[in-house]
Chains A and B, each alone.
Chain A
Amino acid sequence: MRDVCIVGIGTTPYGRHEMAARELMTMAAEAAIEDAGVDPTQIKGAFFGNAFGVAEKQGHLGPLIMTALGIPETPATVMETACASAGTAIHHGYRDVAGGFSDVVLVGGVERVSMLDTLTATTYFSYGSDYTFEGGNGCSFPGLYATMARGYFDQYGATEEDLAHVAIKNHHNAVSNPIAHLRKEITLEDVMGSMKVADPLKLYDACPFSDGAAAAILATPEIAKKITDTPVYIEGSARSGSIASLHDRDDLTTIPGTIRAGQAAMQQAKVDIGDIDFWEVHDCFTIAEIVASEDLGIFNRGEGAKAAVEGLTAVGGKHPINPSGGLKAKGHPVGATGAGQIVEVVEQLRGEAGGRQVDGAMRGMTHNVGATGGTVVCHVLGRRN
């Protein structure tokens, strides 16, 4: 297997866009191509994440994007693993380069849902659950994570205030992120006073519906050394699954796929928790960041809830989590999120993250979850001097 580097990154701002998914993905891809400085004809394949393309009445996005990029002969594949779609696309792009099939590939993801009203968007998102048993029993996506949250409260005695501190921290980080969807500080009172969406989760526990796209160019180290002084190595890339429905799981307070994908990515990278300078984890809801931080091994069981309260996960804390603002405040364009996490880690490792920069960051890890963990993708990225 060959080493794989990230040689270029691109992203749109996250938020509401008038442009269609195909246009957003093309913009982010072109930004990554220009950042990498590759000749577009060097790109031998493309892998994109997208979950709700049919909401725009458009399937088969790949060739539309490649045509707009002026490389229509390059084969493109859209992958769907719900909110982990882009992480999955990056993993398969990685395998394409690592396996020797292509020397340069384009990876990324895109989502556009803001043209849907809240009721329609809530309904579409519930299709990502086990619809017969979960969505079909009236459970929304916030509802699934709320059910996990109540299980966590019951087991570990955590509180709604503990969750609120995750939201406050991620909003604070997003203020320094020029592409973030929600760039404003929030207070404990704001969170606790926000409307219940799915008890015990409130509006400020939840990520927004965002539009956006993000992309990266992957290449062999030989090509990377020719075109960039700051290649970032993909040191670990791993996926795992979990039992699809919450009711079939033994424990509501853990996502087994995160444990497996996290350990596999870290083993491949030959690193431990202490070797990782920061994480971008899948905080679609505040409880999700806490559960992830325990499943990834950053904190012991039941101790993740106090980490944000105590400042351990702040930029400048012992284990910074979601310096970008996370899904919570940077935003969550579903099929783009896994690629956006990669963009953040590369910016951090290049030292280009401005007011949210993790000092001296040499290695970062991403964690991208589809639905309630039916799919999990983890990447460990490192800079080498």
Chain B
Amino acid sequence: MATDPHTAKAPLITMKGQKDALRDGKIIGFRCKTDGYQQFSPMIRCPKCRQTDLETREFSTTGTVLSYTIQSVASEQFLNETPFAFAIIQLDDGPKVSGWIPWISKPAELPVGSKVTYTPTYKPGFMFEKV
């Protein structure tokens, strides 16, 4: 292991590592040991307390839709998925995450507050389905 103080340290988990875990049905992110702040996006310093004593943590795979949009015009990777919802989801035990929900064509199909669960898929991104 590198001991030179000038050698960059690898993050506790890389984005590749997060994606591998997602394939196994696990949502793994970061938790600040100082103030408990949790984040799914990469971090090496807590944006709240600015401390660097972090750990990885497995979050729950169920959550609640906080807000969303229905994509009727999508980018290349999602061309064949329209219409679908892109959503910001509050995990039941964990932070907020971004994800997408297939087969949503109108707001009545996904009221804010809907319960969703993460579902591993060969498709791109992090797919959640309505419970």
Binding site for B on A (CB under 8 A): 118-120, 122-123, 126, 130, 132-140, 142-144, 146-148, 150-151, 154, 195-201, 243-248, 252
Taking a contact as CB atoms closer than 8 A, the residue among A133, A154, A199 that contacts B69 in the complex is A199
> Nearest residue in A to B128 (C-beta to C-beta)?
A137
Size category of the B interface is 35 or more
Query: CB-CB < 8 A to B106: which residues of A?
Result: 199
B28-82 contacts to A (CB < 8 Å) = 39-41, 47, 66-79, 81
Chain B residues closer than 8 Å to A252, beta-carbon distance: 66-67, 88
In the bound complex, how far is the Cα of B73 from the Cα of A142, in angstroms?
Answer: 9
A247 and B98 form a contact (CB under 8 A): yes
Contacts of A143 in B (CB 8 A): 69, 71, 86
CB-contact partner of B107 in A118, A120, A132, A199, under 8 A: A199
Is A140 a contact partner of B75 (Cβ separation < 8 A)? yes
Nearest CB on A from B43, distance (A) = 9
Out of B39, B89, B98, which one reaches A139, CB within 8 Å? B98
- B120 contacts across to A, CB distance below 8 A: none
Closest chain-A Cβ to B39's Cβ sits at a distance in Å of 6
The answer to whether B5 has its CB under 8 Å from any CB of chain A is: no
Q: How many A-B residue pairs have CB under 8 A?
A: 115
A138 and B84 within 8 A (CB): yes
Please give, as numbers and ranges, the residues of chain A lying within 8 Å of B125 by CB-CB distance. 136-138
Cross-chain contact A246 with B88 (CB below 8 angstroms): yes
From A137, A148, A248, contact of B99 by CB (8 A): A137
Q: Is the CB of B100 within 8 A of A138?
A: yes
- Seed contacts A122-B73, A198-B71, A247-B95; 13 additional CB < 8 Å A-B pairs: A126-B75, A138-B77, A138-B100, A138-B125, A143-B86, A154-B67, A198-B73, A199-B70, A199-B107, A200-B69, A247-B98, A248-B40, A252-B88
**Contact at A147–B72, with CB atoms within 8 Å?**
no
Within 8 A of A (CB), among B87-110: 87-89, 95-100, 106-107
20 contacts between A and B (CB under 8 A): A118-B73, A119-B79, A122-B75, A130-B98, A137-B86, A138-B77, A138-B81, A138-B100, A138-B125, A147-B67, A147-B88, A150-B68, A195-B72, A196-B72, A198-B73, A199-B69, A199-B72, A200-B107, A248-B95, A248-B96
Q: How far is the CB of B106 from chain A (nearest CB, A)?
A: 8
* Residues in A neighbouring B78, C-beta threshold 8 A: 138
Interface residues of B (CB under 8 A from A): 15, 39-41, 47, 66-79, 81, 84, 86-89, 95-100, 106-107, 112, 124-126
Q: Please name all residues of chain B whose beta carbon is closer than 8 Å to the beta carbon of A154 when the two chains form the complex.
A: 67, 112
Please determine whether B98 and A137 come into contact, CB atoms closer than 8 angstroms.
Answer: yes
Pair B71/A139 contact, Cβ less than 8 Å: yes
Closest chain-A Cβ to B80's Cβ sits at a distance in Å of 11
Tell me which residues across on chain A come within 8 A of B87, comparing CB atoms: 147
Q: Whole-angstrom distance from the CB of B28 to the nearest CB of chain A?
A: 14
CA distance A200 to B72 in the complex (A): 11
In the complex the two chains form, is B69's CB within 8 Å of A139's CB? Answer: yes
The one of B84, B89, B98 that contacts A245, using a Cβ cutoff of 8 Å:
B98
Query: How far is A142 from B67 in the complex, measured between Cα atoms in Å?
Result: 14
In the complex, residue of chain A having the shortest beta-carbon distance to the beta carbon of B48:
A250
Q: How far is the CA of A150 from the CA of B87 in the complex (A)?
A: 11
Contacts known (A122-B74, A138-B81, A197-B72); A243 close to B47, Cβ less than 8 A? yes
Taking CB atoms, residues of chain B closer than 8 Å to A146 are 69
Is B41 within 8 A of A137, CB to CB?
no
With A118-B73, A139-B98, A252-B88 given, is the CB distance from A147 to B41 under 8 Å? no
Tell me how far the C-beta of A149 lies from the nearest C-beta in chain B, rounded to whole angstroms. Answer: 8
Chain B residues with CB under 8 Å of A147's CB are 67-69, 86-88
Q: How far is the CA of A72 from the CA of B120 in the complex (A)?
A: 55
- Complex CA gap A246/B69 in Å reads 13
For the complex, give the distance between the alpha carbons of A347 and B86 in Å: 41
Tell me the smallest distance from the CB of B37 to a CB of chain A, in Å: 10
Given known contacts A133-B98, A199-B107, A245-B41, is B73 in contact with A151 (CB within 8 Å)?
Answer: no
| Nearest A residue (CB) for B43 | A248
Max chain A Cβ within 10 angstroms of own Cβ: one of B39, B41, B100: B41
Contact yes or no, B69 A137, CB < 8 A: no
